[in-house]
Amino acid sequence: MPLNIVHDKDGLPRIILTEPTGSSAESFWKPPKAIRGGIPVCFPQFGNLGLLEQHGFARNRFWSLDEDASPLPPANNQSTVDLILKSTEEDIKAWPRGFELRLRISISPGKLTLIPRVRNVDNKAFSFMFALRNYLSVSDISEVRVEGLETLDYFDYLMNKERFTEQADAITFDGEIDRVYLSTPTKIAIIDHEKKRTFELRKDGMPDSVVWNPWDKKAKALPDMGVDGYKTMLCVDSAAIENPIVLKPFEEWRGRQELSTVSSSYCSGQLDPRRVLHGFH
């Protein structure tokens, strides 16, 4: 089946993925700035940890359809798309490395799967950071808790990247937060009490997790956030930040992220979050 590609009034293309039970996903771009929402791809830099623009250049570039996603099996349905970003002359001026960045996006009932890959097509080794910045829609940030990151070390970006150890049983929110948690588990639960819904984040190849909410003062300074936008969003990212990924010539790195939802009544004690974290049996 051909991909469902539509064009906005300004001529920019959008890809719309659908699956039989009604889930959908779409990819679009509004130059010249990255979109505040969705799942921006941070490459080859996270945040301001380097000399490039914030979060690197990948999220601000036009990607192409990838006609050859091997060794992944071919995608021949309307619920999967393969995209590719190759280094351009402009990129090489800022970051002189030859690379191919691929991303497979697939939707299935209640699940969104992303498989990023980076190939070194240069004649020398290079290293890079990577993150999938997951903007999650929540009912009320003060009613959300994140489980799976307790007892872990993190860098606190509100405290000059000082390293701390998480002491709470779960992360809850009553103010701004901007942290990079280190050596995190492959499964994290984001529990939304009011919506009675739990996001289950599964990841591989991206050992770090970023938790971010700008809260009221910084949200006012973000023109694309809205004054109260911080109340209904939370970023929980899959990332490789503390230890950048190193690739020798013609080596390839592969990551994987699955984001799914389970309807829950956790606020009434009927859902044990440990079952979300460690799987249902």
How many domains, in total, are found in the chain?
1
**In whole angstroms, what is the distance from residue 99 CA to residue 182 CA?**
26
Instruction: Give the contacts of 276 (CB within 8 A, at least 6 positions apart).
Output: 147, 187, 189, 191, 198, 200, 262, 264
Q: Is 270 annotated as a binding residue?
A: no
Containing structural domain, residue 221: 10-266
200 is a domain residue:
yes
Tokens describing residue 166:
């998480």
5: in domain? no
59 is an annotated ligand-binding site residue: yes
| Dist CA 256 CA 258 (whole Å) | 7
DSSP 74-136: P--STTEEEEEEE--HHHHHHS---EEEEEEEEEETTEEEEEEEEEE-SSS-EEEEEEE--EE
What is d(CA 27, CA 13) in angstroms, rounded to the nearest whole number?
9
**What is the predicted pLDDT for the residue at 102?**
97
273 inside domain? no
CB atoms within 10 A of CB 79: 19
Does some domain include residue 197?
yes
- Asked whether residue 93 is assigned to any structural domain, the reply reads yes
- Which pLDDT value is given to residue 115? 97
pLDDT in 10s for each residue of the chain, 281 residues: 567 888 877 777 888 999 888 888 887 666 556 566 789 999 999 988 877 888 889 988 888 999 888 888 877 678 999 999 999 888 899 999 999 999 999 999 989 999 999 999 999 999 999 999 999 999 999 999 999 999 999 999 999 999 999 999 999 999 999 999 999 999 999 999 988 999 999 999 999 999 999 999 888 888 777 788 899 999 999 999 999 999 999 999 999 999 999 887 544 344 454 555 554 43
pLDDT of residue 30: 61
Q: Has residue 278 been placed in a domain?
A: no
Mapped onto helix, strand or coil, the DSSP state of residue 229 is: helix
pTM: 0.89
Tokens encoding 104: 């497979």
* CATH code where residue 16 lies: 2.70.98.10
Q: Is residue 58 part of a domain?
A: yes
CA distance 239 to 204: 10
| 279 located within any domain | no
* 3-state SS, residue 124: coil
